[in-house]
Amino acid sequence: MEERINLSVLESFVSAVFHAMGCSSVDAETATRALVAADLRGIDSHGVARLSGYVRLWEAGRINASPKICIVHESPSTAVVDGDGGLGLVVAPWAMQVAIEKAKTAGTGWVSVCNSNHFGIAAHHAMMALEHDMTGIAMTNASAIVAPTFSSERLLGTNPICYAIPAGQEPAFVADFATTTAANGKLEILQRKGMDTPDGWLQDADGQPVNDAHALRKGGALLPLGGDREHGSHKGFALGSIVDILSGVFSGANFGPWVPPFPAYVPMPENQPGKGLGHFLGAMRIDAFRPASEFLADMDLWIRRFRQASPVSGQERVIIPGDPERAFEAERRAQGIPLLPVVWEDLRSVGEKFGINL
Amino acid sequence: MEERINLSVLESFVSAVFHAMGCSSVDAETATRALVAADLRGIDSHGVARLSGYVRLWEAGRINASPKICIVHESPSTAVVDGDGGLGLVVAPWAMQVAIEKAKTAGTGWVSVCNSNHFGIAAHHAMMALEHDMTGIAMTNASAIVAPTFSSERLLGTNPICYAIPAGQEPAFVADFATTTAANGKLEILQRKGMDTPDGWLQDADGQPVNDAHALRKGGALLPLGGDREHGSHKGFALGSIVDILSGVFSGANFGPWVPPFPAYVPMPENQPGKGLGHFLGAMRIDAFRPASEFLADMDLWIRRFRQASPVSGQERVIIPGDPERAFEAERRAQGIPLLPVVWEDLRSVGEKFGINL
C-alpha cells in the first residue's frame, strides 16, 4: 500500500538532503523543485525514488554539489553551457534560463549543455518557458540501454524529448516522452508485477525479440519507438540519435555508449570523448513568429478540435499531451504524493545518513 | 518493368512543364531540383510521379505559379514567410534560404511558412544547410489521413521531420521520416502487390485495427508511429502534433483537419482557420555551438561508432540515417532514374497538355 506524503513536507526533506550534500540553499531549492515535479506529474520513476541514486553518485565523486556553471561558447541565439559536473537538476534550469534570456532579444535561444548529470523530467525544464509566453524544448541523452535498429549492442539512452507550447484559455500542450517504445519506468512496473512485456519493447543480448521484463539485466536492450523495422523502429532510432547528437555532439558532452551511467556502481565507460552527460534546451518567443493573441487563439482552436475528436469505441476521448500529468499534479498538490513502501524506506535511509528526519 | 530515364533529360522535361505552368525560369529550376531530388534519393512516391498532381492543383487554381513570396514577421533569429499560394517546391527553398541567412548572424534561423503547398521531400530543403556548415531542419504539415491515438477521425497528416547534420570525413547524418508507423508510399507498394499490411499501420473507419491496404479509401486512417497505445502511438501522435503546430499555428497556415488536400478533386475543408499549408524550417550554424573542427570530428566518431555496432544475426550492419538514400542517389545519377510504366504514361500525358515531348 502506498502512503501519501504532504508536498511541503517532502520538499523540505529533499531540500535538506541536497543542502547536506553541499548544495547552496538556492541550488537545493532548484534541485528539489525539479525532482519533485516528477512526483507531482505522476512520473514516479523520475522523482524522489531516485534521490538515493543522486546521493550515491555524489558519494562516488561523480556529482559536484557546488558547481561553477558557465557559458563556454555563444552567439546571439545559442550557447554551450558547462555544468561543471553539477546535478542536472540544477544545471538544466540554469541553462534553460540562458535560452530564455537569448530568446528575449534574438527571438529564440538554444543551449547545449555538457558536463552535467541526470536532469529529472524534461517537462520541468521546458515548461519554464511557458510563463514567458515562449515554447520550451528540453532533451537529454542518457546512458546506453537502447539498441539501434539491427544492432545487438546498446548504444543510446531512452533520450526523451519535451515540447511545451503555450495556449490561451486552454492549458499548455506539453508532450514529454522517451524515444523508445516503452519508458524504463513502465518496464519496472511489469517487473514488480512479475509480468511479461508486450512485443516490441525489448530484445535479448543477441538482439532477438523477447518478452522478459528482466531482459535488460541479462544484457538485453530497450527498443526504439516502433519496436522493429517493419513498424518504424528506424524512426525511433533516428529520433534517439538526434537527441544524442544535439545533447552530446553539439556541447562536447559524451554521447552514444560513452554517456555516464546513473547507477553509481556501474563503472564509467572507457575512452570517453566528452565531458559528463549532455542536454539540449530551447526557447522560442511566440511573438517572434506571430502576434501573441493570434498564436494563442489558434493554439486554443487546435487543442479544442483535437480534444473533441470522435473517440474509438471503449475510449472516452483523445488525450492532449500534458492532460494526464496536469490531472496528477492537481490531485497530488491537494491530497499529497503517494509513495511506495520501498521508497519511504529508501528516503528514510538517506535521511539517516545525514541526520535528517522524515 | 521499369525503364530508366537520364537525369538531365528528366530535369529538362520537368522544368519545361513548370515553365509552361507559368513559373519563372528560376522558379522552374528550383522546383525541378526539389522534385527530382526525391527520385534521386529513392523516395519515388514524392518525385515526378506527383508532377501531374501539381499540374492539376494549378489547373484547379490552388497553386499560384508566380507567387510574391515575402517575410511577414521577423526577429533576429526567426521569420514567418507567406508563400502566396506558390508551389511548396519553390516556397520552402526560399524560406530555407531565409533561415540560413538568419543563422549567419544570429547563430540559428527558424522560419515558419504559411500559404504554401506540398513541398516534396523534407530532406531536400534541410540539406541546403549542409554546404554552409549548418544543421538543417525541415518539417511540413499535410492533409489529414492520420488518426490520433484513441480517435476514429483523421486529424493529422503524415507530417515528416528531417534533420540534416554535417560531419567531417563521413557523409552527413540525414534522417527524414514520416511521423506515422508507415509512410503512404509503403502502403501504395502493398496495394499494388495486393498484399495486407502488418499490424499497427492502419485502422478502419470505426477506429479498429485493420490490415487492409485499401483502408484509407474506405474512411480508415494511418496510425501514428508506435501503432497503438501499448506500443507508444501517443508518442507518434505527439510528434505529428508538434510538426503540425510548428508548421501551422506558428505561421498562420491551416492545421489539423483544415490542411488543404493534395488531390485536386478533393474539396477544400470548410471554415479553414489559416492560409494554405504550413512548413517549418531551421538552420543552426555548427560554430555557434563549438569550433567547427571539434564538432565535425565528434560527428565522425558518432557515425563510425554506430556503423560499427555488432549487428543482429541476419543483418549486415546498423544503417546510419541517410545511408540508403545516398546510395540510391549515386546509382541513379550514374545509371538513370527508373520509372514505372504508369509514371512514364502520366508524364507523357502531362507533356502533351503543354506540347512538351518526353
Question: Residue A347 above 80 pLDDT?
Answer: yes
Residues A161, A179: contact at Cβ < 8 Å? yes
Q: For position A192, what pLDDT does the model report?
A: 84
User: Which residue type does A213 have?
Assistant: A
pLDDT in tens, chain B (358 residues): 789 999 999 999 999 999 999 999 999 999 999 999 999 999 999 999 999 999 999 999 999 999 999 999 999 999 999 999 999 999 999 999 999 999 999 999 999 999 999 999 999 999 999 999 999 999 999 999 999 999 999 999 999 999 999 999 999 999 999 999 998 888 888 998 899 999 999 999 999 999 999 999 999 999 999 999 999 999 999 999 999 999 999 999 999 999 999 999 999 999 999 999 999 999 999 999 999 999 999 999 999 999 999 999 999 999 999 999 999 999 999 999 999 999 999 999 999 999 999 9
**How many Cα atoms occupy the beta-carbon half-sphere of A198 within 13 Å?**
15
Instruction: Give the span between the Cα atoms of B173 and A292, in whole angstroms.
Output: 35
β-pairing, A3-5 vs B70-75, is unpaired
| pLDDT at residue A1 tops 80 | no
3-class SS at A211? Answer: coil
Residue B92 CA to residue B271 CA, distance in Å, equals 25
Q: How many CB pairs under 8 A join A and B?
A: 263
Q: Which of B152, B289, B316, B318 to mutate to test the interface with A (most CBs of A within 10 A)?
A: B289
Q: Do B306 and A148 touch (CB under 8 A)?
A: yes
As a whole number of angstroms, the distance between CA A35 and CA A40 comes to 9
Tally of CB atoms within 10 A around B126: 30
Chain B hits for A230, CB-CB cut-off 8 Å, are 198
Q: So what CATH class is A182-222?
A: alpha beta
Q: What is the largest CA-CA distance in chain B?
A: 55
CB contact under 8 A, B73 and A289: yes
Record: contact A182-B315, CB cut-off 8 A? no
Question: How far from B75 is each of A25, A109, A287, A319, B80, CA to CA, in Å?
Answer: 37, 12, 9, 34, 9
Give how far A231 is from chain B: nearest CA, Å: 5
pTM beyond cutoff 0.90: yes
- pLDDT level of residue A299 (50, 70, 90 thresholds): very high
User: Under 8 Å CB-to-CB from B268, ≥6 apart: which residues?
Assistant: B62, B260, B261
Given the DSSP bridges, would you call strands B209-210 and B337-339 parallel, antiparallel or unpaired? unpaired
Q: B352 vs chain A: nearest CA distance in angstroms?
A: 40
From B163, B165, B172, B177, select the one nearest B236 (Cα to Cα): B177
- Looking at every residue in chain A, the average pLDDT score rounds to 97
